[in-house]
Amino acid sequence: MAAAVGMACARILKRAGRLSLAAGLLATLAACAGTTPAVEGQRRVSQRPSLDQVAPDFRHLAGWVDDDHALAVPAVQRTCGWVRNQPPGKPLGPLHAAGTTDDWRAICAAARDLAPGDSEAARRFFEAFFAPRDVSNGEDGLFTGYYEIELRGSWTRTERYNVPLYRMPPRGKHRLPSRARIEAGALKGKGLELMWVDDPIDAFFLEIQGSGRAVMADGSVVGIHYGGQNGHGYYPIGRHIIDRGDATPEQMSLQLIRRWLKDNPAEAQRVMNLNPSYVFFKVKPEVGARGARNMELTPGRSLAVDAAHIPLGVPLWLEVRDAPVPGGAINRLVVAQDTGGAIKGPVRGDLFWGHGPQAEEGAGVMKARGRYTMLAPRNLSVETAQRR
């Protein structure tokens, strides 16, 4: 999910469900962010190739020689899994430069043979098969973060586990109820309860993130995935907190919203109900966040984008500043693997941080400015090239 005043913490998951949170307070995180998935794996300076070893059209990408390109290979291989199941000649997205499934066959064959963890081989692979294409038009955009939340759950309702997560109701002629009506019991007793969790605020933030994992009372761990949305528009409760004077746009973050809800228990449910949008879920035995096209997300290497502008599955060279990492700069290879209702525009992204406390902390305060460069297939088919 959005902009500072619109709720520095706003991102609606796929087709309008999940929000991601953007905010200030960057300096407070810098000291502890060094081991988070969003910054790990940077190449040591002693391993940096000389510029004459780098393809000429990649030499202008700030930080290209310092990245550990092998960390982005699994994300590209997941794009290839999608390509493998598509018909010939299908475009990857709205930009002709991204090519078609035919243009990706050779790329995917080479990616399949890459040895895990071989950064130099990965760098040479990207330089051989892709060419940088400017898609930012020299403009900066907003980059926020999201993460995989962890909840505590039970398959049955108990005194402790009394907050339901619902599966998607059958589609009918009538519009699905709003959050307020659902919280008042509109779906109660219809057999739609997926599981029960022990914290209504955690359940609310699961919707914001769009997916997560649940540690069940029996000791098992299951994945909770986006299953649909009630069709109502999203209202950012961070805006309400700002409007009532309890925070400024610069202060807004995931952590601040969570703390406000905890500190105001008498008002928490009413304020959450101001957002009529409601997300439904499904459970899968595998744990791990998934994005668009059901692709498993890679911490620090998966980026949510506006698919109307950036094709899903393409590699992007990301350059942002004022991020919650040591030094404030992120220069790394990522892959467009997710979308969001408030991730809109040609230069807009939401970086997946993984799961755990550090991921939550980093994602919750990330509000960076920057741009990206698309890596387009170097050898496009004749038909694709003619449409450019």
Residue with tokens 């973060």: 145
Nearest to 351 by CA among 292, 297, 296: 297
Residue with tokens 């879920």: 281
- pLDDT tens digits, 235-263: 999 999 999 999 999 888 888 999 999 99
pLDDT at 44: 44
pLDDT at 293: 87
CATH code, domain with 61: 2.40.40.10
Average pLDDT on 121-126 reads 97
Cβ–Cβ < 8 Å for 144, 20 = yes
| Per-chain mean pLDDT for the chain | 86
Q: Count of domains in the chain?
A: 1
Mean pLDDT lowest among 6-15, 105-114, 299-308 = 6-15
Percent of the chain with pLDDT over 90: 69
Examine the pLDDT at 364 and tell me if it is beyond 80.
Answer: yes
d(CA 138, CA 235): 32
The CB density around residue 263, as the number of other CB atoms within 10 Å, is 10
| φ/ψ of residue 362, rounded to 5 | -65, -45
- 349-360 per-residue burial string, b: 16 or more CB within 10 A, e: under 16: bbbbbbbeebbb
pLDDT at 345: 93
Mean pLDDT lowest among 82-86, 144-148, 190-194 = 144-148
pLDDT at 340: 77
Q: Residue 289 belongs to what domain range?
A: 1-388
pLDDT at 26: 29
Q: CA 139 from chain center: how many Å?
A: 22
Q: Confirm whether pTM is higher than 0.85.
A: no
pLDDT at 48: 77
Q: In the structure, what pLDDT confidence band is assigned to residue 23 with cuts at 50, 70 and 90?
A: very low
| Cross-strand partners of 320 | 330, 370
Say which DSSP state 241 is in.
Answer: H
Examine the pLDDT at 282 and tell me if it is beyond 50.
Answer: yes
d(CA 71, CA 97): 24
- pLDDT tens digits, 162-218: 999 999 999 888 899 999 999 999 999 999 999 999 999 999 999 988 889 999 999
